[in-house]
Amino acid sequence: MQHPSTTDLVSLILPAYNEELNIRRVYDSIQQALRGSQNLEIIFVDDGSSDGTAPCVRRLRSEDPSVRLVRFGRNFGHQAALFAGLQAASGAAVITLDCDLQHPPELLPQMLQAWLSGAKVVQPVRLRSAGVSWFKRLSSKIFYSFINLLSEVPLVSGAVDYLLLDREVVEAVLRFRDRQPFLRGLVAWLGFTPVRFEYAAPPRTAGKSGYSLAKMLRLAVNAITGLSSKPLRFSLYLGCLTALFCLAYSAFAVVQFATGRTIQGWTSVIMTVTFLGAVQLVSVGVLGEYIARIFEQTRGMPRFVIVECDEPAGMSEEPEHAAYRKNPT
């Protein structure tokens, strides 16, 4: 069977970690949703599964040459699997979705229609998830509130890694060199205007989620540190506030000493400790500023993103800092 042209090919990326029971189900759901209306390649990325995930994909591949397998030797994580799929994909559009059917394949025609109408990014937004505990719902709200407080790029609450990305956006995302990437945050950072619509996630069909509490916390930390250097700067602000407090407290200690309301040596000890503490925090804050600059430089991000350009920009940029154009002419 001849491989379809990449100009009309759509790549589906499905990270899979111990999803043996869901491989066939999600494949059948995709086929049912699209009914052969689109040239597809379906890339399953086996993230170091310990069950029969890889053999299930191989059986599908023997039945359908459009199915591909990318397999890790060990578990590198969901975000790593997404990026491995992006690198392997050759379609003009790339769609990322999970194997557990909580990213409903029934939305695929709507996403593709938005792309065909000119959208570069299509992002379904989850309103609610069936069968999810109150703790996970609460932790999700806290996560989005916290990341939007600290991040330079706000994220929509309920946004997940169910995305359609135009090839132009995929190439831009792959320019990032983050060791611990956060896909939906990087897509938001690029600045392409997304088309969004809401959906209610159904319950998981089989198996259990691979996202433990520890992995969710790690994802949150990677998301915050990957999108912003604000946490580094908080120590400077804290140090300045502490210095003001120490100055006021030192004045209070001097007044107490002058009125004879302190014991011998108390004033000097308190003033010394508070002053040194403030100096240390301010020093750490200043150091944090320089680390933040190093951090942002070494991430390899482009300096800017041109989302529309009617005429050539006439700029000369080094390759690693070249601008991305949304609608080049």
Residues 185 and 202 in one domain: yes
- Judge whether 312 lies within some domain: no
Residues 270 and 181 in one domain: no
Residues 143 and 261 in one domain: no
Residue with the larger pLDDT of the pair 323 and 24: 24
Residues 247 and 280 in one domain: yes
Residue with the larger pLDDT of the pair 24 and 270: 24
Residues 76 and 170 in one domain: yes
Domain end residue (candidates: 227, 248, 264):
227
pLDDT tier for residue 252 given thresholds of 50, 70 and 90:
confident
Alpha helices by DSSP H, listed for 177-306, are 183-190, 213-227, 230-258, 266-298
31's CB contacts (< 8 A; 6+ apart) are none
Residues 218 and 84 in one domain: yes
- Is residue 119 over pLDDT 70? yes
For the beta carbon of residue 234, count every other beta carbon within 10 angstroms.
Answer: 12
Domain end residue (candidates: 200, 227, 254):
227
Residues 264 and 186 in one domain: no
Residues 191 and 239 in one domain: no
Residues 136 and 33 in one domain: yes
* pLDDT on residue 204: 61
pLDDT tier for residue 97 given thresholds of 50, 70 and 90:
very high
Residues 170 and 274 in one domain: no
pLDDT tier for residue 270 given thresholds of 50, 70 and 90:
confident
Question: 304 with 323: CB under 8 angstroms?
Answer: yes
Residue with the larger pLDDT of the pair 310 and 257: 257
CATH code of the domain containing 37: 3.90.550.10
- Judge whether 308 lies within some domain: no
- Judge whether 317 lies within some domain: no
Average pLDDT over residues 110-122: 94
205 closest CA partner among 100, 84, 320, 277:
100
Query: What is the value of pTM for the model shown?
Result: 0.67
Per-residue pLDDT reduced to its tens digit, 195-232? 998 887 776 666 565 555 566 666 666 666 666 666 66
What mean pLDDT value characterizes the chain? 76
Residues 215 and 272 in one domain: no
- Judge whether 148 lies within some domain: yes
From residue 324, alpha-carbon distances to 87, 175, 211, 308, 317 in Å are: 18, 10, 33, 9, 11
- Judge whether 304 lies within some domain: no
Per-residue pLDDT reduced to its tens digit, 45-64? 998 888 889 999 999 999 99
- Judge whether 325 lies within some domain: no
Which has the minimum average pLDDT: 87-96, 107-116, 177-186, 266-275? Answer: 266-275
**Number of structural domains, the chain?**
2
Domain end residue (candidates: 207, 227, 247):
227
**Domain encompassing residue 280:** 230-298
168 closest CA partner among 308, 68, 3:
308
Residues 283 and 196 in one domain: no
Which has the minimum average pLDDT: 94-103, 115-124, 139-148, 252-261? Answer: 139-148
* pLDDT on residue 219: 64
- Judge whether 266 lies within some domain: yes
- Kindly state the percentage of the chain with pLDDT values over 70: 66
- Judge whether 247 lies within some domain: yes
